[in-house]
Amino acid sequence: MKYLKEIITEKWGDILKFSCPVNSDEAFFDVDLIIHSDAVDINAEVIPHRHDFYQLIWCLEGEGVHILDFNKADIRGGRIFFCAPEQCHSAEGAIKIPKAYGIMFNDAFISELNPNFVYEIKYLFFRRYGRKQYLDISPECSKILMELVQLMLRECKNKDYYGHNGYCLHLLALFFINLKRFSLSDDPTDSESEENILIHHFVNLVENNYKYKCAVCDYARDLNCSESKLNRACQKVLHISPLKVINRRKLDEAKRMLSFSQEPIKDITFNLGFISQPHFVAFFKKQTGICPNEYRKREQGK
């Protein structure tokens, strides 16, 4: 099993990219305490970064704003943020780094859990659409989660223990079970209904294919359902159309490229699967109200 110190770091434009070791089939898990420091001035911002693994950030104290894929939420004690693979996040407006626990894992690590439970973890907590990507937890829930995190920290310091991987895996499972019990048990959209499962698979397909597929009919065919069924499920669960899900994913990536790199508009056009630069400019202007060049000047001039 791989750990935090072995993560590969690279830079794409102004975004730091943190990656598990090259072999994606190898389990990765780690937990770390992020402690604030008066010596570290982050009053402006924490540099935008992304990972190819899941990250859960449990804030114990702090202030400022957490930005996840251009969506902002206040940093405060008792708030847990959920960052799915390839999402970009950063922080701004903080006087010092908040005190928080970071829990990181990849698909290979949770693959030995029951498939239905893996679905719940990804769909209930790391869903990109139709839900705020944070939870505020009660003192009662915090007490239980703290005990589990302390066990994780102790276990990660002693990696040679017998059954270490399984021990960490089941601690993580208990963490999510308690999160659901205390924070999500009354939410009807969290059930394993046919619509929820369909949307879970649809969003995963979009994540893997948004650069190459933009037609709803293509996704409906891959999901072995009709366009009307996919549209009804999207409207019921996410309250937006399938096309808006696809377009939003393309738009988020376009915004990242324009905000954090000097990549030419022409290259961004073809990297995102548009047939020509005018098509990309028209798409971006329709979604945001301004042209890509204007957006880049505005964001990079901040």
This prediction's pTM = 0.80
Print burial letters for 251-279: b (CB count within 10 Å at least 16), e (below 16). Answer: bbbbbbbbbbbeeebeebbeebebeebee
Distance, CA of 274 to CA of 265 (rounded, Å): 11
pLDDT digits (tens, 9 = 90+) for 12-52: 555 566 676 556 678 889 888 875 544 444 444 467 788 88
**Residue 65: strand pairing partners:** 74, 92
- Taking the C-alpha atoms of residue 63 and residue 187, their distance in angstroms, rounded to an integer, is 28
Q: Which domains are seen in the chain, by residue range? A: 4-186 (2.60.120.280), 194-300 (1.10.10.60)
Distance CA 150, CA 29 (A): 15
Q: What confidence score (pLDDT) does residue 41 get?
A: 44
**pLDDT score recorded for residue 42:** 42
The H or E element containing residue 55 is: strand 54-61
Tens digit of pLDDT at every position of the chain (302 positions): 555 555 555 555 555 666 765 566 788 898 888 755 444 444 444 677 888 899 999 999 888 888 888 888 998 899 999 999 888 888 877 655 568 899 999 999 999 999 888 988 888 898 877 778 899 999 999 999 999 999 999 998 877 777 788 999 999 999 999 998 887 655 555 556 888 889 988 998 998 899 989 899 999 999 999 999 999 999 998 889 999 999 999 999 999 888 888 889 999 999 999 999 999 999 999 999 999 999 998 887 76
Q: Which two tokens stand for residue 80?
A: 């847990």
Residue with tokens 């069924």: 229
